Amino acid sequence: IVLMASPALGISSCFFDGWRALYRFCNLTQVPQVPSTTKSLLLSFNYIRAVTTASFPFLEQLQLLELGTQFTPLTIDKAAFQNLPNLRILDLGKSQIDFLHPDAFQELPHLSELRLFYCGLSSAVLKDGYFRNLGSLTHLDLSKNQIQSLYLHPSFGELNSLKSIHLSLNQITTVCEHELKPLQGKTLSFLSLAGNNLYSRVSVDWGKCLNPFRNMVLETLDVSGNGWAVDVTRNFSNAINGSQIFSLVLTHHVMGSGFGFTNIKDPDQHTFAGLARSSVIQLDLSHGFIFSLNFQLFETLKELKVLNLAYNKINNIAGKAFYGLDNLQVLNISHNLLGELYSSNFYGLPKVAYIDLQKNHIGIIQDQTFRFLEKLNTLDLRDNALKTISFLPSIPNIFLSGNKLATLPNIALTANFITLSENRLENLDNLYFLLQVPHLRILILNQNRFSFCNQDHAPSENLSLEELFLEENMLQLAWGAGFCWDVFKGLSHLRVLYLNKNYLNFLPPGVFRHLIALRGLSLRDNRLTVLFPGDLPANLEVLDLSGNQLLSPDPDLFASLSAVDITHNKFICECELSPFISWLNQTNVTIFGSPADIYCMYPSSMAGAPLYSLSTEDCD
């Protein structure tokens, strides 16, 4: 990666450093002479008008040539790069090529990547054999040109290394079988025909057009942004019947009625039926207008493992909508308009491991909705409208942040990871309940309202919890009333605890006594003015006390730590603080933050003075 230097920054952008020649923004009108040891020659953002055989001396070591974004039209002559026999990457992108000789790319036996995006090229670049003899060519980028036809020269059949072709954002309105015949028998890792209005604005006689991908294997086919409604999608799926397409990307489509409209159809069980023999493993239908997932919509996609339906307008999931998806593992229905979930919604998903439902409007979930998903590993319900939930599946990972939950069901539950941040939980009884969940390792409860508890149950031993996040709650209200001082009693394996922004002005005696494994504790942005011996866990290593109101802390409290943050406190810079100042200047403990942020607050004459700048000699 070469960082672009700009004269505006006071850095020369025209230099050679032994193997790299960087000549961007150098007002060049022709290719400069460079040493024979050059491996990378970067000439973008200049005024080079022509590249000919004489433009380059013999540069045997050159592997990367960048000629993109010339500020003047560019002419490329016959065998213009023949003196660069080991060139691997040629970048001409975003240069207006007025003339490109059909033999411009000859004698480049090792060229693997050719970037010709946004060059104003026509269909002739494909039809007239410009890429003959490029036996090592792997990646060809022709996106954002003016190509209207995909009729390929027979020499494409000889490009045995070709794996990736980018043809997005051209003007290709149809692609038929005879046009791509030279690619038959090949396997491509990526083919993009996105953003071409492909098939959407012309009448296609599929009986004559036939299957454009016959006898081809496409690991990823991108036909996004072509304005496909249900009819075009169905006809295309039927036309490519039998072609192997492992990942089909069909984002930014216009399938679906959207919210409040009925003039455009939602996809049905016939829409993707033609893909039955295509071995589709991933299907991306995100960014569309699908309103209803209809009955047996994906029934024929027996091998599908990943289905992305995010950013549609889905409000309804019909019974058996997912029937037939026997191998589906990942289902993404995030950013839709679902308001409720029913027990029948996910029928037919025996292997699904991950369901993403975040950012819908889900306010209620019927009992047993996820009970029979035996392989479910992760359920993401973040940023919905749940006020109550009566059932949670026992799965490793549960995401429930950003809802409106005020209480939790007292049910048998097993999980490794639970996040319930940004809810409305007030009663610490819910915390006691969660701390009893078997196998729980990480619990995130930031930005709730924990402020009281009924104190009607004792904490139980939890031997699995390692990380507990309780930031931005109101523990001071509960602890100040004398309640819940034993909340951490059973957490003998806890290693990290966050208690930031809990309005704490004291620590209950012994509140951390049982946290024998605790290594990291954050008490940042509270109201602590003093800490007493025994307040901190015995084996603590890292402590964050920044943003509190500490006045004259005892340095012995920090002696056993490896690192501490005490920035932005309210130190009283009088002689009582001299032991702490001496410790600060001599300790081997890592002090986080800028020295300027460890400053005096009182007396007013010394306000803002860094503690490191103070002398304690007059206090002896």
Kindly state the average pLDDT of the residues 526-537: 94
Quick: pLDDT tens for 470-499: 999 999 999 999 999 999 999 999 999 999
Torsion, Cα 112 117 122 127, to 10 degrees, reads 20
pLDDT at residue number 264: 85
Structure tokens, 592: 């986080």
pLDDT at residue number 620: 67
Q: Which residues contact 3 (CB under 8 A, 6 or more apart)?
A: none
CB 389 within 8 A of CB 365: yes
Query: Residue 528 gets which letter from DSSP?
Result: -
Q: Which residues contact 501 (CB under 8 A, 6 or more apart)?
A: 471, 472, 473, 524, 525, 526
Alpha-carbon torsion (16, 19, 22, 23), positive or negative: positive
Q: 533 or 183: which carries more pLDDT confidence? A: 183
Mean residue pLDDT across the chain: 94
Is residue 460's pLDDT more than 80?
Answer: no
Angle at CA of residue 305, ends 176 and 420, nearest 5°: 130
Give SS3 for 494: coil
pLDDT at residue number 218: 98
Quick: pLDDT tens for 568-593: 999 999 999 999 999 999 999 999 99
Please, is 33 exposed, middle or buried when counting C-beta atoms within 10 Å of its C-beta (0-12, 13-18, 19+)? Answer: exposed
- Report which secondary-structure segment, H or E, holds 2: none
Distance between CA atoms of residues 141 and 166, nearest Å: 5
Query: What is the DSSP code string of 288-317?
Result: S---EE-TTTTTT-TT--EEE--SS---EE
- Domains of the chain, first to last: 13-135 (3.80.10.10), 172-385 (3.80.10.10), 387-503 (3.80.10), 519-619 (3.80.10.10)
> How many CB atoms neighbour CB 129 within 10 A?
16
Strand partners, 164: 139, 190
Distance between CA atoms of residues 252 and 171, nearest Å: 17
Kindly state the average pLDDT of the residues 325-339: 98
Number of residues assigned to the chain:
620
pLDDT at residue number 599: 94
Is residue 11's pLDDT more than 90?
Answer: no
Kindly state the average pLDDT of the residues 114-127: 98
Query: Residue 248 gets which letter from DSSP?
Result: E
Question: Which of the four pLDDT bands, split at 50, 70 and 90, describes residue 554?
Answer: very high
Torsion, Cα 507 508 514 519, to 10 degrees, reads 0
Query: What is the DSSP code string of 101-125?
Result: -TTTT-S-TT--EEE-TTS---THH
pLDDT at residue number 2: 26
Distance between CA atoms of residues 531 and 508, nearest Å: 11
Distance between CA atoms of residues 65 and 524, nearest Å: 52
Q: Rounded to whole angstroms, what are the CA distances from 469 to 162, 437, 445, 448?
A: 50, 16, 6, 11
pLDDT at residue number 226: 97
Beta pairing, strands 442-444 & 417-419? parallel
pLDDT at residue number 260: 66
pLDDT at residue number 411: 84
Quick: pLDDT tens for 130-158: 999 999 999 999 999 999 999 999 999 99
Helices and strands in the chain: count of H runs, count of E runs? 6, 35
pLDDT at residue number 7: 41
66-80, 101-115, 259-273, 315-329: segment of lowest average pLDDT? 259-273
CB 81 within 8 A of CB 104: yes
Question: Which of the four pLDDT bands, split at 50, 70 and 90, describes residue 6?
Answer: very low
Beta pairing, strands 20-23 & 14-16? antiparallel
233: phi then psi, degrees, rounded to nearest 5: -60, -45
Quick: pLDDT tens for 157-196: 999 999 999 999 999 999 999 999 999 999 999 999 999 9
Structure tokens, 32: 């400069």
Question: Which of the four pLDDT bands, split at 50, 70 and 90, describes residue 8?
Answer: very low
In our burial notation (b when 16+ CB lie closer than 10 A, e otherwise), range 511-524 reads bbebbeebbbbbbb
Question: Which of the four pLDDT bands, split at 50, 70 and 90, describes residue 601?
Answer: very high
pLDDT at residue number 391: 85
Is residue 5's pLDDT more than 50?
Answer: no
Assign residue 102 a region: left if phi > 0, alpha if psi is -120 to 50, beta otherwise? alpha
pLDDT at residue number 455: 66
Residue found by looking up tokens 């490794």 in the block: 416
Q: 453 or 28: which carries more pLDDT confidence? A: 28
Structure tokens, 513: 């006594």
pLDDT at residue number 160: 96
Is residue 76's pLDDT more than 60?
Answer: yes
Residue found by looking up tokens 């103070």 in the block: 614
Angle at CA of residue 418, ends 412 and 420, nearest 5°: 105
Nearest CA among 233, 179, 248, 171 for reference residue 208: 179
Nearest CA among 147, 133, 140 for reference residue 113: 140
Is residue 1's pLDDT more than 70?
Answer: no
Report the share of the chain in percent with pLDDT over 70: 97
Is residue 9's pLDDT more than 60?
Answer: no
Q: Where are the beta strands (DSSP E) in 415-570?
A: 417-419, 442-444, 467-469, 496-498, 520-522, 542-544, 563-565
Q: HSE on the CB side for 275, CA within 13 Å?
A: 26
Please, is 48 exposed, middle or buried when counting C-beta atoms within 10 Å of its C-beta (0-12, 13-18, 19+)? Answer: buried
597: phi then psi, degrees, rounded to nearest 5: -95, 5
Kindly state the average pLDDT of the residues 500-512: 96
Q: Rounded to whole angstroms, what are the CA distances from 334 to 223, 353, 380, 384?
A: 22, 15, 9, 10
Greatest CA separation found in the chain?
A: 100
Is residue 373's pLDDT more than 70?
Answer: yes
Question: Which of the four pLDDT bands, split at 50, 70 and 90, describes residue 372?
Answer: confident
pLDDT at residue number 617: 83
Distance between CA atoms of residues 23 and 1, nearest Å: 15
CB 134 within 8 A of CB 158: no
